[in-house]
Structure 1
Amino acid sequence: MPIEQTGELPEELKQLVDLQRQALREKEELRDLDYSADAWQPWRDAAWRVQEGITLYVQAGEVAGEVRSRYETEMLVKSQARGGVAP
């Protein structure tokens, strides 16, 4: 079942969008830096929190008897975090 993109997002999805925006900010700060594991750790942590949150959101839907597509959820979160622009 596709995720409805009309109207207000549920609070759980808003939180995931905020996490994705944080991950994007962390990545943007790395744009001009050379790679080092320590410098990139904040971005990896933020990206991991987004992925974990999406997984938990989908699993919660399954427990509630809802069918939630992990792919569609992730694409919606990324799109909304970029201001509605598809990734």
Structure 2
Amino acid sequence: MMEVIVETFTLLQEHGVVSGGREFSVEWLGRSPSYLSSMRARPASRRPSAGVMMTLYVRFREYIEEAGMGEDVRPTWDGMAERIWGAAMHRIK
């Protein structure tokens, strides 16, 4: 699950949606500014909760809809949304 969060962060950062990990942690994960860096520093002990994954999924989907993405890039973003959803469901089980 951490991999999905890091990949989502990277995608958002590459497209200029977020400027850094602190912004991503607060605005996209609903957590403290140091959440992403703490998770990266201690991956074995910092497994994201289902709540974190669901928050990320909802915000990511909202962004896709609000951004009005064209058909040329939409599959990439939809694919990432599905990966986030899958990780959230895996965490619930």
The TM-score, its normalising length taken from structure 1, stands at 0.41
When Rg is computed on C-alpha atoms for both structures, the one with the higher figure is 1
TM-score using structure 2 length: 0.39
